[in-house]
């Protein structure tokens, strides 16, 4: 172990608890720097382990991931047309085809908004006697975990953004994705002119991505049109391997057709999905909020 202030290395015998360390006999000044009195507040850093020749295996000491839980939420979007509407001639595609496409997009948007802003909830107050489950989203995960959060509360400058990146890249991969609102994108465009590399239609995300290369790591910047009004000044820097789309068996998005009552003069279809968001390792993600234009 090393004292950063004095430069002294020490040989630790045992770690008795969160606040107690026992130094081995003769373990002070374990190197070329002599023993120096330790002051309150000195930073102590583990620099490795040293073992005698012919020794036995070291004591097992390893970390475990903290279990994370979330729920699958049922999303339903209904399409309903009378038979008169369904069989009328209209300009363009038949109305049923148009409504399926339009409401299919809305169904996907509902899921995405829940993945950003949803909060985990198990509710038993339903009128049918069955539970309702809401899936927790990314904002809830970051607010309740060990993520770095920077409240800007004003204009975003290059130095401010560098502070954010320094902290945000402390853990995890050196390539991350920044999902940002328009106000944040505007600020980055202004101070990073000439440093952004636009890569249209990246196959991984299916959207236009701008690459921003820094000494901390590579940022793939994505403008999220859902971040508007109160969320236009938000940006989430995410390590994407920590998130996964999850769905209940046989309950991924599908279109149920002709679910109307038998005597209805019309047709009702429904998009149904029962899915949730897997979220892991909050310390690998960061949130920038309160950026003003």
List the chain pLDDT tens, one digit each, 293 residues.
999 999 999 999 988 888 899 999 999 999 999 999 999 999 999 998 999 999 998 887 777 777 789 999 999 999 999 999 888 888 878 889 999 999 999 999 999 999 999 999 999 998 888 999 999 999 999 999 889 999 999 999 999 999 999 999 999 999 999 999 999 999 998 887 766 665 654 545 556 788 888 899 999 999 999 999 999 999 999 999 999 999 999 999 999 999 999 999 999 999 999 999 999 999 999 999 999 98
φ, ψ of residue 275 to 5 degrees: the values are -145, 170
Q: Measured between alpha carbons, how far is 257 from 53 in angstroms, rounded to an integer? A: 73
- CATH pick for 149-244+280-291 out of 3.30.1930, 3.40.390, 2.60.40, 3.40.50: 3.30.1930
Please, what's the largest Cα pairwise distance for the chain?
93
- pLDDT attached to residue 263: 92
- Strands in the chain per DSSP E: 2-3, 12-17, 20-23, 44-45, 73-82, 121-123, 132-134, 148-154, 175-180, 196-199, 209-213, 218-223, 235-238, 243-247, 254-256, 266-279, 286-291
- pLDDT attached to residue 110: 98
Whole-prediction pTM value? 0.83
- pLDDT attached to residue 68: 81
Do 71 and 120 contact (CB within 8 A), yes or no?
A: yes
Each domain of the chain, given as residue ranges in start order, spans: 1-53, 73-135+245-276, 149-244+280-291
DSSP letter (8 states) at residue 278: E
Distance of CA 111 to the CA centre of its chain: 15
């Amino acid at each position: 172990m090393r004292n950063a202030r004095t430069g002294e290395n020490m040989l630790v015998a045992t770690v008795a608890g969160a606040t107690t360390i026992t130094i081995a006999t003769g373990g002070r000044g374990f190197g070329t720097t002599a023993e120096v009195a330790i002051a309150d507040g000195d930073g102590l850093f583990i620099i490795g382990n040293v073992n005698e020749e012919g020794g036995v295996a070291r004591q097992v000491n390893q970390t475990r991931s903290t279990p994370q839980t979330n729920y699958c939420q049922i999303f339903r979007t209904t399409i309903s047309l009378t038979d008169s509407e369904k069989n009328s001639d209209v300009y363009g595609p038949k109305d049923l085809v148009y409504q399926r496409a339009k409401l299919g997009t809305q169904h996907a948007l509902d899921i995405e908004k829940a993945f950003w802003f949803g909060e985990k909830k198990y509710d038993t107050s339903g009128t049918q006697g069955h539970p309702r489950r809401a899936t927790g989203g990314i904002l809830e995960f970051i607010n309740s975990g060990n993520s770095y959060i920077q409240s800007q509360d004003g204009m975003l400058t290059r130095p401010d953004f560098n502070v954010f990146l320094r902290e945000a890249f402390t853990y995890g991969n050196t390539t991350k994705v920044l999902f940002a609102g328009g106000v944040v994108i505007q600020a980055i465009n202004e101070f990073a002119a000439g440093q952004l590399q636009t890569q249209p239609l990246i196959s991984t995300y299916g959207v236009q991505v701008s690459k921003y290369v820094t000494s901390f790591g590579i940022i793939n910047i994505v403008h999220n049109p859902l971040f508007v009004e109160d969320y236009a000044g938000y940006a989430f820097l995410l390590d994407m391997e920590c998130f996964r789309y999850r769905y209940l068996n046989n309950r991924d998005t599908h279109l149920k057709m002709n679910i109307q009552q038998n005597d209805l003069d019309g047709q009702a279809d429904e998009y149904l999905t029962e899915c949730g968001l897997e979220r892991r390792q909050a310390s690998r993600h960061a949130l920038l909020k309160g950026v003003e234009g």
